[in-house]
């Protein structure tokens, strides 16, 4: 808390000259795995022979080993300086040195700083004795200069060897952590749950420690293999910014290696500690199928009966003839519907990267008015290696309309269905499905018998 009330007065005397660097262009490629690739073109004045050049305003989360440089000459040494200025670091550097404290009334205290911890300091006065201040919140601090080794921005320092003196455009590229992006979708169902409108947004997060103005932005969708992914935590306040929706599509999508890449067709600003949202695409009148799904066979061990919930599932085809047919990056889908007066939230689900021509399945929630009671009615041992089990699944429909509940039953291995009251479909080696019709305010019972051989 005390840091908020402190004003640090620093008189800085820095030897040497800082030459301005013109950033000609910058491009940022963001992956949805906490990494980004920055391509930065700067106009630098490089002297003949060996000289030292500082490249400022690089990402604080940069991986220095990933830096690639294209210039007329050679970089024979690189150092990454990241010991940034802050209040505590300056005071720590001034241990055993003289500082000044100025109170709110203008009273000045001077002495050698012996200790700085948790807003409490100890000074050795020039006239002798110790001055201990338990709360420095009412003081300003004055020091003579910026301590050696501290810098205001992350900086790459190059030792360059060049055959001639000239200004030239230097291309710098590097990998940095702290970049991420993810997709979000908002789906609005129509009145009878037969169609939906879908809007897609991308959220680009920049916590890399640098700001990139007028950047060319690319997003890569796909799971890139990383040898050593590194996560960073930050306690900085994040800002959120939403780009206004432009007419037409803002991203150009194309295949890239085994992934998909999205190029924003205009420059944008990527401020540090900011999340930017940009419209990706929109689709209207997408045909959907609404299903009621019950997964059977998930009871507790040794419990012969149970009550289960029926999931509400929405499915649609990601096809061009269904007003879609676009690669859909993984992300959260929020589903909305009008209650006749306003749009209300009805559920959400996550989707993985979904190519064209594939089906999207969303679990929206659990049906309130459909109840399932599942009972094992018989267990008969035929021999040491064969047994038969019978089941009943009672479905109660308290809705004001007829429904069909799809029952998905897990059977395991070595089974044979020897009887059922409703026709089944084999889903795979271990699962079968039944489509059970239930009239409004009525119930229906599914019965089946399974023989297991071991």
Across 237-251, 268-282, 350-364, 423-437, least confident range? 237-251
Q: What is the pLDDT of residue 11?
A: 37
Q: What is the pTM of this model?
A: 0.69
Q: Tell how strand 179-189 and strand 331-338 pair up.
A: parallel
The Cα–Cα gap between 275 and 203 comes to 6
* Secondary-structure breakdown of the chain: helix, strand, coil percentages, each rounded to the nearest 5: 5, 60, 35
Q: What is the pLDDT of residue 416?
A: 94
Quickly state the pLDDT bin for 245 (edges 50, 70, 90): very low
> To the nearest whole percent, how much of the chain has pLDDT over 70?
84
Residues 409 and 376: beta-carbon distance below 8 Å = no
Task: Examine residue 298 and state whether it is found in any structural domain, yes or no.
Answer: yes
Q: What is the pLDDT of residue 229?
A: 47
Q: What is the pLDDT of residue 2?
A: 39
Average pLDDT score over the chain: 84
Q: What is the pLDDT of residue 244?
A: 36
Task: Examine residue 430 and state whether it is found in any structural domain, yes or no.
Answer: yes
188-225 pLDDT, tens digit each: 999 999 999 999 999 999 999 899 999 999 988 866 66
For CA atoms 222, 223, 226, 230, the dihedral sign is positive
Query: What are the distances in angstroms from CA 24 to CA 39, 44, 108, 118, 147?
Result: 11, 10, 48, 44, 32
Residues 328 and 350: beta-carbon distance below 8 Å = no
State residue 320 phi and psi, 5-degree precision: -65, -40
3-state secondary structure (DSSP) of residue 320: helix
> To the nearest whole percent, how much of the chain has pLDDT over 90?
48
Please give the tally of structural domains in the chain: 2
Which of these, 401, 403, 433, lies nearest to 417 by C-alpha position? 433
3-state secondary structure (DSSP) of residue 91: helix
What is the separation, in whole angstroms, between the first and last Cα of the chain? 69
Higher pLDDT, 246 or 115: 115
Residue 383, domain CATH: 2.60.40
Task: Examine residue 122 and state whether it is found in any structural domain, yes or no.
Answer: yes
- Structural domain of residue 447, as residue ranges? 290-311+367-453
Residue 291 scores a pLDDT above 50: yes
Residue 10 scores a pLDDT above 60: no
Residues 321 and 335: beta-carbon distance below 8 Å = no
Q: What is the pLDDT of residue 257?
A: 60
Q: What is the mean pLDDT of residues 408-418?
A: 93
Q: What is the pLDDT of residue 232?
A: 41
State residue 12 phi and psi, 5-degree precision: -110, 130
Task: Examine residue 340 and state whether it is found in any structural domain, yes or no.
Answer: no
Residue matched to tokens 């999508």: 253
Instruction: Name 4's Cβ contacts closer than 8 Å, sequence gap at least 6.
Output: none
Residue 109 scores a pLDDT above 50: yes
Task: Examine residue 445 and state whether it is found in any structural domain, yes or no.
Answer: yes
Q: What is the pLDDT of residue 414?
A: 92
Quickly state the pLDDT bin for 91 (edges 50, 70, 90): confident
Across 112-116, 150-154, 180-184, 262-266, least confident range? 150-154
Task: Examine residue 172 and state whether it is found in any structural domain, yes or no.
Answer: no
How far is C-alpha 194 from the chain's CA centre?
A: 31
Query: What secondary structure does DSSP assign to 143-185, as a single string?
Result: ESSPPTT-BSS-EEEEEEEESS-EEEEEEEEEEEESEEEEEEE
Higher pLDDT, 384 or 248: 384
Q: What is the pLDDT of residue 223?
A: 63
Q: What is the mean pLDDT of residues 120-126?
A: 86
Burial of 109 (0-12, 13-18, 19+ CB in 10 A): middle
Q: What tokens appear for 250 in the block?
A: 């803002």
Q: What is the pLDDT of residue 25?
A: 93
Residue 113, domain CATH: 2.30.30.100
Task: Examine residue 448 and state whether it is found in any structural domain, yes or no.
Answer: yes
Task: Examine residue 437 and state whether it is found in any structural domain, yes or no.
Answer: yes
Residues 306 and 294: beta-carbon distance below 8 Å = no
Q: What is the mean pLDDT of residues 49-69?
A: 89
The Cα–Cα gap between 64 and 326 comes to 37
Helices (H) and strands (E) in the chain, counts: 1, 32
158-170 pLDDT, tens digit each: 899 998 899 999 9
Q: What is the pLDDT of residue 304?
A: 62
Residue 382 scores a pLDDT above 80: yes
128-139 pLDDT, tens digit each: 888 888 888 788
Query: What are the distances in angstroms from CA 77 to CA 65, 89, 219, 277, 385?
Result: 12, 27, 32, 39, 74
Q: What tokens appear for 87 in the block?
A: 């209040």
CA torsion angle 262 185 309 452 (round to 10) = -10
């Amino acid at each position: 808390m005390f840091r908020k009330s402190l004003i640090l007065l620093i008189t800085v005397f820095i030897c040497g000259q800082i030459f301005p660097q013109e950033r000609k262009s910058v491009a940022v490629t963001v992956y949805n795995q906490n990494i980004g690739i920055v391509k930065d073109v700067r106009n630098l004045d490089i002297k003949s022979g060996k000289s030292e050049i500082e490249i400022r305003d690089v990402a604080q989360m940069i991986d220095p080993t990933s830096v690639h440089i294209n210039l007329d000459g050679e970089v024979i040494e690189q150092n990454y300086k990241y010991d940034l200025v802050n209040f505590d670091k300056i005071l720590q550097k001034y241990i055993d040195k003289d500082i000044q404290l100025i109170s709110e009334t203008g009273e000045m205290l001077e002495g050698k700083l012996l200790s700085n911890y948790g807003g409490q300091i100890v000074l050795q006065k020039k006239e002798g004795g110790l001055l201990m201040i338990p709360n420095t919140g009412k003081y300003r601090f004055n020091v003579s200069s910026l301590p050696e080794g501290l810098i205001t921005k992350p900086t790459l320092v190059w030792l360059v060897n060049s055959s001639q003196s000239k200004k030239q455009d230097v291309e710098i590229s590097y990998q940095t952590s702290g970049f991420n992006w993810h997709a979000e979708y908002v789906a609005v169902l129509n009145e009878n749950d037969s169609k939906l409108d879908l809007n897609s947004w991308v959220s680009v997060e920049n916590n890399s420690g640098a700001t990139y103005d007028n950047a060319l932005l690319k997003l890569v969708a796909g799971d890139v293999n990383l040898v050593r992914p590194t996560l960073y935590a930050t306690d900085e306040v994040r800002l959120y910014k939403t780009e206004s929706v432009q007419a037409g599509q803002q991203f150009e999508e194309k295949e890239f290696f085994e992934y998909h890449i999205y190029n924003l067709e205009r420059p944008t600003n990527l401020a540090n500690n900011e999340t930017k949202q940009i419209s990706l695409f929109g689709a209207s009148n997408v045909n959907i199928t609404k299903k009621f799904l019950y997964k059977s066979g998930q009871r507790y061990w040794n419990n012969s009966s149970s009550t289960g919930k029926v999931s509400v599932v929405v499915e649609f085809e990601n096809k061009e003839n269904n007003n879609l047919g676009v690669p859909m990056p993984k992300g959260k889908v929020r589903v909305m519907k009008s209650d006749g007066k306003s749009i209300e939230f009805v559920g959400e689900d996550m989707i993985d990267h979904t190519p064209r021509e594939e089906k999207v399945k969303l679990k929206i929630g659990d049906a309130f008015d459909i109840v399932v009671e599942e009972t094992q009615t018989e267990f008969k041992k035929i021999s040491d290696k064969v047994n038969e089990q019978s089941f009943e699944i009672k479905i109660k429909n308290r809705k004001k309309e007829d429904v069909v509940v799809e029952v998905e039953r897990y059977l395991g291995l070595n089974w044979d269905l020897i009887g059922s009251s409703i026709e089944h479909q084999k889903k795979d080696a271990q699962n079968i499905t039944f489509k059970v019709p239930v009239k409004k305010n009525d119930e229906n019972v599914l019965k089946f018998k399974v023989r297991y051989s071991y």
